[in-house]
């Protein structure tokens, strides 16, 4: 059974809205509405982006957030790492069956394969900026993003 983790895509969604409104302060309620997710989950994403220095957030009744730097200076890798999402690939935790050569060696052998795949994934994210993502969204939509 495969479990899907959405931490990175939610963080990217939040950052894209903030990038589209760069220079403005946006409330977590507006961001949660755009994501169409629970406000507490979105606020956790905002907190992670804030700890990573990607977002500046103010607290309280009139709290809101904005990007700490221009979208062109934020890579998708920055957002991925800030989201604290688990690695894209993982080795299963099932016990080794000593009588099976595959079972005895698969974890060790797959470790190098998965490390290489994760490195490639992260390298691709490092090549794309938040500004690139927003540009792609605008091209697909044909107009400005509506939060």
Domains of the chain listed by start with CATH number: 7-89+129-141 (1.10.10.10)
pLDDT attached to residue 83: 95
**Is the pLDDT assigned to residue 146 strictly greater than 70?**
no
**Is the pLDDT assigned to residue 1 strictly greater than 70?**
no
Question: CA nearest 11: which of 120, 41, 38?
Answer: 41
Classify residue 41 as exposed, middle or buried by CB count within 10 Å of its CB (0-12, 13-18, 19+). middle
pLDDT attached to residue 52: 97
Name 55's Cβ contacts closer than 8 Å, sequence gap at least 6.
Answer: 14, 15, 18, 46, 49, 65, 66, 67, 68
DSSP state, residue 129: B
Chain segment 4-60, per-residue pLDDT in tens: 789 999 999 999 999 999 999 999 999 999 999 998 999 999 999 999 999 999 988
pLDDT attached to residue 48: 97
Chain segment 62-101, per-residue pLDDT in tens: 889 999 999 999 999 999 999 998 887 788 889 999 999 9
pLDDT attached to residue 99: 95
């Amino acid at each position: 059974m495969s479990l899907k983790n959405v931490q990175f895509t939610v963080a990217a969604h939040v950052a894209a809205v903030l990038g589209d409104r760069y220079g403005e302060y946006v409330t977590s309620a507006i961001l949660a509405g755009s994501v169409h997710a629970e406000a507490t989950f979105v606020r956790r994403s905002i907190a992670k982006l804030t700890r990573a220095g990607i977002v500046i957030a103010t607290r309280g009744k009139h709290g809101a957030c904005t990007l700490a730097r221009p979208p062109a200076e934020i890579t998708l890798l920055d957002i991925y790492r800030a989201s604290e999402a688990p690695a894209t690939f993982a080795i299963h935790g099932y016990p080794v069956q000593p009588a099976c050569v595959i079972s005895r060696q698969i974890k060790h052998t797959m470790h190098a394969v998965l490390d290489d795949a994760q490195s490639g994934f992260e390298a691709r994210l490092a090549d794309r900026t938040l500004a690139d993502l927003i540009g792609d969204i605008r091209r697909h939509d044909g107009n400005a993003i509506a939060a």
